[in-house]
Homo-oligomer: A and B are copies of this chain.
Amino acid sequence: MTSPAATQDSYPYQNEPIWSRSEKVIARTAFDAALGRELHEVIQEAKRMASQIQQSSDLWDLEHYLTQRRKEIDRKYDYRYSQLTHVFGRLLYEKRVREEELRGLREDKLKPIRSFAKFLAEDAA
């Protein structure tokens, strides 16, 4: 996806924070852990649904569930540095990452992460 700014501004990324090497390690670790936990949840739910299939509608419900979750996960786990504060903001809001896992990120990352999590919480309320 190209943001409007990227096409209209010759310095599209001037306001984006720079991720240091140690921050990239922290981000990657937290990202992979959250993704792993979410996939584990989907696997458990798929096994549960499959074990309870009795008729064809249950079968296609399982297919639909898997397709929806795959698309949602693809959309959510976007490891581009330009997207990461939104990604972690959402994961924080969904309680899929804990603040401790982000410890070591500088305030220029933590602030927009917390701010987006807060926005999502207020938006849902």
Question: CB within 8 Å of B: which residues of A?
Answer: 39, 42-43, 46-47, 49-51, 53, 56, 58-60, 62-63, 66-67, 70
Contact = CB atoms under 8 A, between A and B. Distances in A.
Contacts of A47: 50-51, 53
A90 to B, nearest CB: 19
Q: Is the interface of A mostly helix, strand, loop or mixed?
A: helix
Q: How often does this chain occur in the complex, in copies?
A: 2
Contacts of A49: 50
A43 B56 contact: yes
B67 A63 contact: yes
A62 to B, nearest CB: 7
A62 B46 CA distance: 9
A14 B43 CA distance: 54
